[in-house]
């Protein structure tokens, strides 16, 4: 294994990333697009780019991801991709009959300077977009940002390019769930239903990338926010944006265009972040908190209290998307554990400031790095080991080399199932996270304990 040659000596690197904790913008844009009902994502670039983006999402969700591509060749790379995209729009509406084509750019189309607004307008002018059908677009070159910012850009586009204002404020709210699993979006909707909050969630990938097997093929599953719902977001009374990196831009855009007030919250991972989400719903949607949700919180707190001795002061290394890492770090601290190392591949100094604020009272030097990589994490671990790793599938190599338990969390998870169906948000999601953490730690305890201390009951 090449990782076994990772040196303990740390040297500053400015122009090299080894196993960065992110992937490119179009992956996030494609995932966001799938959250629109009867939408076909379209990659404006080379066929190879689209194949990779589809592949990583298909491997993560274990569900076939459909998307179109402008299939750039040398000619399009020199003279521009307008002709390719116009032909693609015509072909897609004729053959595959989506309601929406969501076009995201790639490095190649951005570098040659294709004007997406102009191309979309020409497609409309030339009659290539049928009546009642739509083309939206977002700028997502891979040489900046990450899959999280790509998701944010497409989410903002779907808000601003669909939303309309009739002048009549409705009693529903907008909910932007952030870059989370379809299971998490479903759990957020369940909480909203429990609190009787009328809402429009966008994007919504539940029942799209985790659609049931019925024995009949459907190119467009039943899930996803509808075009009519997206149009109604301009009349919503409030917007709840979950996750600053993935959701804030869309909320700000709706406020600027339609004067819709908003609240940017952390992802509701762990009880503190979920408390803030529930309280914001209570305050800004004018509802009460039902006993059913209070019971869920109490069950979570009971488990945390019962198992505190197995969690206390355990050191954890965390790798993942910024919104998820912020909420997860806070949860880890609240469990009495130590988030020794926190890394995200997405750029942003605000991330480092936020983590330092969350961990300011932790009795340990917490190392945090935005735009970091797993090579750096491995070096940190070699110099000062941890008790647990939490992050995506790529952490399994460090887990094996350093013999450290791993809880798979985030994106992508390529070698396990469950993330599409079992949430980690809300009180019930937090309970599942605690169970997964305890399972790894206690399995390790049983493996390493001496024979005379090997007990049936912990």
Mean pLDDT of 131-140: 97
1: pLDDT strictly greater than 70: no
- Residue 16: what pLDDT? 85
300: pLDDT strictly greater than 80: yes
336: pLDDT strictly greater than 80: yes
Mean pLDDT of 391-398: 96
Closest by Cα among 368, 327, 370 to 347: 370
Mean pLDDT of 222-245: 97
First to last CA, the chain: 36
What does the alpha-carbon distance between residue 347 and residue 414 come to, in Å, rounded to a whole number? 24
Closest by Cα among 242, 267, 265, 239 to 253: 239
- Residue 3: what pLDDT? 67
What does the alpha-carbon distance between residue 37 and residue 40 come to, in Å, rounded to a whole number? 9
- Residue 2: what pLDDT? 56
113: pLDDT strictly greater than 60: yes
Mean pLDDT of 96-102: 98
Q: Provide the whole-model pTM.
A: 0.96
Condensed to tens digits (0 to 9), the pLDDT of residues 4-36 reads 788 898 888 878 888 899 999 999 999 999 999
Determine contact, residues 174/202, Cβ cutoff 8 Å. yes
361 CB burial (10 A radius; 0-12, 13-18, 19+): exposed
Mean pLDDT of 386-408: 97
Mean pLDDT of 205-232: 95
- Residue 320: what pLDDT? 97
- Residue 75: what pLDDT? 76
- Residue 338: what pLDDT? 98
> Which of left, alpha, beta for 308 (phi over 0: left; psi -120 to 50: alpha)?
alpha
Condensed to tens digits (0 to 9), the pLDDT of residues 59-90 reads 999 999 999 999 998 877 777 889 999 999 99
Q: What domains are there in the chain, each with its CATH number?
A: 25-162 (3.40.50.1980), 173-290 (3.40.50.1980), 295-453 (3.40.50.1980)
Mean pLDDT of 318-347: 97
Condensed to tens digits (0 to 9), the pLDDT of residues 183-205 reads 999 999 999 999 999 999 999 99
- Residue 11: what pLDDT? 86
């Amino acid at each position: 294994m090449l990782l076994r040659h990772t040196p303990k000596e740390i040297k500053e690197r400015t122009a090299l990333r080894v196993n960065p904790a992110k992937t490119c913008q179009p992956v996030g844009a494609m995932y966001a697009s799938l959250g629109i009902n009867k939408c076909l994502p379209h990659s404006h670039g080379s066929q190879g780019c689209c194949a990779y983006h589809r592949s990583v999402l298909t491997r993560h969700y274990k569900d076939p991801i459909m998307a179109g591509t402008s299939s750039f060749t040398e000619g399009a790379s020199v003279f521009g991709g307008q002709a390719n995209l116009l032909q693609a729009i015509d072909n897609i509406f004729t053959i595959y009959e989506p309601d929406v084509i969501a076009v995201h750019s790639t490095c190649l189309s951005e570098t040659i300077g294709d004007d997406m607004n102009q191309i979309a307008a020409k497609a409309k002018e030339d009659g290539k977009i049928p009546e009642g059908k739509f083309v939206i677009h977002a700028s997502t070159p891979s040489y900046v940002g990450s899959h999280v910012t790509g998701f944010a850009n497409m989410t903002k586009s779907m808000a601003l390019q669909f939303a309309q204002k009739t002048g009549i404020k409705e009693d529903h709210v907008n909910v932007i769930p952030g870059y989370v699993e379809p299971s998490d979006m479903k759990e957020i909707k369940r909480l909203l239903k429990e609190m009787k909050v009328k809402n429009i969630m966008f994007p919504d990938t539940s029942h799209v990338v985790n659609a049931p097997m019925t024995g009949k093929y459907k190119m467009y599953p039943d899930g996803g926010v509808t075009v009519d719902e997206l149009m109604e977001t301009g009349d919503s009374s409030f917007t709840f944006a979950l996750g600053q990196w993935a959701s804030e831009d869309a909320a700000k855009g709706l406020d600027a265009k339609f004067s819709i007030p908003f609240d940017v919250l952390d992802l509701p991972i762990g009880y503190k972040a979920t408390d803030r989400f529930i309280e914001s719903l209570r305050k800004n949607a004018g509802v009460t908190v039902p006993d059913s949700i209070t019971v869920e919180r109490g069950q979570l707190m009971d488990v945390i209290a019962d198992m505190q001795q197995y969690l206390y002061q355990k050191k954890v290394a965390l790798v993942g998307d910024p919104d998820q890492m912020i909420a997860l770090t806070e949860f880890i601290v609240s469990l009495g554990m130590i988030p020794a190392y926190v890394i995200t591949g997405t750029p942003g100094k605000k991330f480092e400031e936020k983590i330092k604020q969350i961990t300011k009272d932790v009795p340990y030097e917490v190392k945090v790095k935005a735009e970091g990589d797993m090579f750096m994490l491995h070096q940190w671990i070699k110099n000062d080991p941890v008790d647990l790793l939490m992050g995506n599938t790529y952490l399994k190599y460090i887990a094996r080399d350093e013999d450290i338990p791993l809880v798979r969390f985030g994106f992508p998870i390529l070698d396990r199932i469950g993330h599409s169906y079992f949430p980690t948000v809300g009180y019930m999601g937090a309970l599942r996270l605690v169970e997964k953490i305890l399972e790894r730690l206690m399995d390790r305890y049983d493996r390493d304990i001496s024979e005379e201390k090997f007990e049936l009951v912990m």
